[in-house]
Structure 1
């Protein structure tokens, strides 16, 4: 089996496992549909690419130096996620008026939230540090090899986001009544709050 295939399978198993990022993606998809989670996913992917780059460059010392910054970043993300969850819970079941348009998602804020969710877990870099030397010849890593690793991460994450998004969309359509919408909204809010708590305690 190709070393890059091994990396892809290991990364997919790790990235698809339930955690704050997946909870955030599911919450977005449950409340707004498949495409609603894409900007958040973009931030998460950017965070994972930064983690990979740090591991490849051997910047583990940077994580220690910037420890306090990671803590601040982490709790900023926690507060925002919990706030979003509470807001979603309070407005559960609210239907838009005929002439009322849904508020557009702030793409920059969503990307920043996804990036924060990923970077606030510096331990994630250990995944790459542990995996890469045993799978990829780091000393012989070329720009093309690095680009291939980045492509694998982007493709795997896209599949995960679309997969969870479709699953959430199916649930949304099965429970489309007003009462069900309130339930879905509360579930989405609870998942956002849960994601914040998971980030806070990890």
Structure 2
């Protein structure tokens, strides 16, 4: 194995920061946790893990080469992510008083719909795309990684966000009665919306 414990530790911290940044997965977990509790949210967290396997593998197996050879590619991704976050934030603020459970695409009952919602949320998540395609190559020398290295990187990419997502869903489940209050829901949506906008404004300059 060529990667060190320090490399793995720093990468795990970066993954934690990625998890703590509001994005589509947070909104999806919030929607399902409020509508159906932890029972409805954990399949979504597992679905997100699929993307957390796919994206680092793509980065390791070749997309990082595209980023290194064509600098504008990452710049375009950053601006696309910026626009997506701004749009998402505006949408959340605009519908701040609207019940989260009204989005049937996210709250459809059942394990399979929850799992699929998780896969869609992570595969279309610009935050995850930017991180794995643009940031992951900076942590490891991908030209010398071994099969064991790749397995460790992918495992970390799955385990850290999965623990975070399950913990987030658990606490939202416990707070769901409060979040069902119209005033509390509006405040939560406004905070989430402005957070998304702030993230969108910061992305182009990072």
Range class of TM-score, shorter chain: 0.5 to 0.7
- TM-score relative to the length of structure 2: 0.67
In 1, Cα distance between equivalents of 2:197 and 2:95: 15
Q: 1:127 to 1:8 in 2, by over 3 A?
A: closer
> Higher Cα Rg: structure 1 or 2?
1
- TM-score relative to the length of structure 1: 0.68
Q: 1:103 to 1:60 in 2, by over 3 A?
A: closer
User: Alignment RMSD, CA only?
Assistant: 3.6
Residue 98 of structure 2 is matched in structure 1 by: 94
Q: 1:28 to 1:188 in 2, by over 3 A?
A: farther
Q: Structure 2 regions of 5+ residues with no counterpart?
A: 107-115
8 Å CA contact retained: 2:53, 2:154: no
Q: Structure 1 regions of 5+ residues with no counterpart?
A: 133-137
In 2, Cα distance between equivalents of 1:71 and 1:12: 25
In 2, Cα distance between equivalents of 1:65 and 1:168: 43
Is residue 22 of structure 2 the alignment partner of residue 23 of structure 1? yes
Q: Which stretch has the larger CA shift, 81-90 or 102-111?
A: 102-111
Is residue 107 of structure 2 the alignment partner of residue 103 of structure 1? no
Residue 10 of structure 1 is matched in structure 2 by: 10
Q: Per-residue deviation at 1:86?
A: 0.7
Is residue 58 of structure 2 the alignment partner of residue 50 of structure 1? yes
Q: 1:15 to 1:180 in 2, by over 3 A?
A: same
Q: Which stretch has the larger CA shift, 30-39 or 161-170?
A: 30-39
Q: 1:184 to 1:81 in 2, by over 3 A?
A: same
8 Å CA contact retained: 2:86, 2:197: yes
Residue 118 of structure 1 is matched in structure 2 by: 128
8 Å CA contact retained: 1:88, 1:185: yes
Q: 1:73 to 1:142 in 2, by over 3 A?
A: closer
